[in-house]
Structure 1
């Protein structure tokens, strides 16, 4: 698969309106048509205590390693998108079709980038933790 067809962000923090009280430590797989939030750890923020859930998707590999292997071994973009949907069990909290977004933008602050999309009243955003991955995100989606 070509590098311009897919971007893997290995360390990001995501939030969305479907789970507004949770911060999702994640890897993000970006394609021209979708982005997929692959949670590595979900932290729920409650008044009295935090709840933390660690996630696992690839047996014997970390999530970033498993995603890199998947991307490197997939030839067609549509196959990658379908495999990502299967891995995430078609869960709308983690799969975002960019053609359905009513608003798409990337904001920057002190070198950090945040991508935010809206679909009607719902929203999702994520921020790569590294400035380099933020720059790569802005280059991958230049029209946002």
Structure 2
């Protein structure tokens, strides 16, 4: 991962490298504006971002690893 970051000239280039690495698999790569609903749920100081696609019943959850990173994660998404 560090190698990808070090060799990327921009955030966009890093995003493209990560998507290619993950083969744009829907299980791992989410384009958040396509998910009409998202909210944070917290438990014991850890927060999970839950994404939902409305009536289709599709949902996905994202959790940040590392102590203290949850707050930055929520702040980034305005929560």
In structure 2, the CA distance between the partners of 1:136 and 1:69, relative to structure 1 (3 Å rule), is: farther
Match of 1:90 in 2: 24
- Residue 69 in 1 paired to residue 30 in 2? no
Q: Does 1:132 align with 2:65?
A: no
Q: 1:139 to 1:68 in 2, by over 3 A?
A: farther
Q: TM-score, normalised by structure 2?
A: 0.78
Task: Give the C-alpha shift of residue 80 in structure 1.
Answer: 1.4
2:37 aligns with 103
Root-mean-square deviation (CA, aligned residues, Å) is 1.8
Q: Which runs of 5+ in 1 are unaligned?
A: 1-66
**Runs of 5+ unmatched residues, structure 2:** none
User: Which structure is higher in helix share?
Assistant: 2
Provide the aligned length of Structure 1 versus Structure 2.
77
1:114 counterpart (42, 48, 51): 48
Question: How far is the alpha carbon of 1:128 from its aligned partner?
Answer: 2.7
Cα 1:100–1:75 shift into 2, 3 Å: same
| TM-score with structure 1 setting the length | 0.47
Correspondences of 1:26-37 after superposition (within 5 Å): none
